[in-house]
Amino acid sequence: MSTCYNPFTLEGKTILVTGASSGIGRQIAIDCSKMGANLIISGRDEIRLNETLSNLAGEGHVALTADLSDMSQIENLVSQIAGIDGAVLSAGRGLTRPVQFSSPDKMNEVFQINFFSTAELIRLLYKSKKAKKNASIVIIDSIAGITDVSPGTSVYGATKAALNSFSKYCALEFAVRKIRVNCICPGMIETPLIHRGTLTEEQLQEDAKRYPCGRYGRPEDVSNGAIYLLSDASSWVTGTSLFIDGGISI
């Protein structure tokens, strides 16, 4: 009997997923486990993180609670990792506020978690060689940082633009160890985050009509892209930004 060929398998790979306690990060962790990966998941909320852990397929997965806005906790997280074949960095937060009300303290809050913590985690994973040779690092970015410029999202968009740029420098510098670095840039994704009251349900339904595919994305849409970038199927892909946005950026 011939073995089924699957270039997207994650069998034998250890994958770190941050922001795994909810939303996109949770879905990515669950789907990676279904593809055979051993998961190290991280998030701030221990209860919700353990809920994710209980939903992972297979055994031997690890949950490490960490607040990535605290640099010392990032160092502690990295110290607990023996080595990884891939990472999906999904932790982040949003901010909807006009430029005139985006004071430096508000900017710092969002940049701290969206950019500085992610950049520091990547730096430490590489410097400590916890990211193994041929590892794949995937950053969950956003079209808001590249093409989708909307009123009230200047700070959030700026953090995502910074991440997108940073990823390309990392891809170039890390290539000496055959470590790939890519971004996924989703459009609007159906998670609890978008239902927090910034827009009414009617406004959300109307906004979804702008997408050529006729709907907002689902967490699994992003997860499928992450699996591709983590797998050997994308072994010649680095320094790129994968748009998963239902065609809104056309």
Active site residues: 156
Residues 215, 223 contacting (CB under 8 angstroms): no
Q: Copy the structure tokens of residue 48.
A: 């919700």
Q: Report the C-alpha gap between 42 and 91 in whole angstroms.
A: 9
Residues 14, 38 contacting (CB under 8 angstroms): yes
Other C-beta atoms lying within 10 Å of the C-beta of residue 3: 5
Amino acid, single-letter form, for residue 85? D
Q: Report the C-alpha gap between 129 and 151 in whole angstroms.
A: 41
Q: Report the C-alpha gap between 250 and 247 in whole angstroms.
A: 6
Q: Report the C-alpha gap between 185 and 18 in whole angstroms.
A: 16
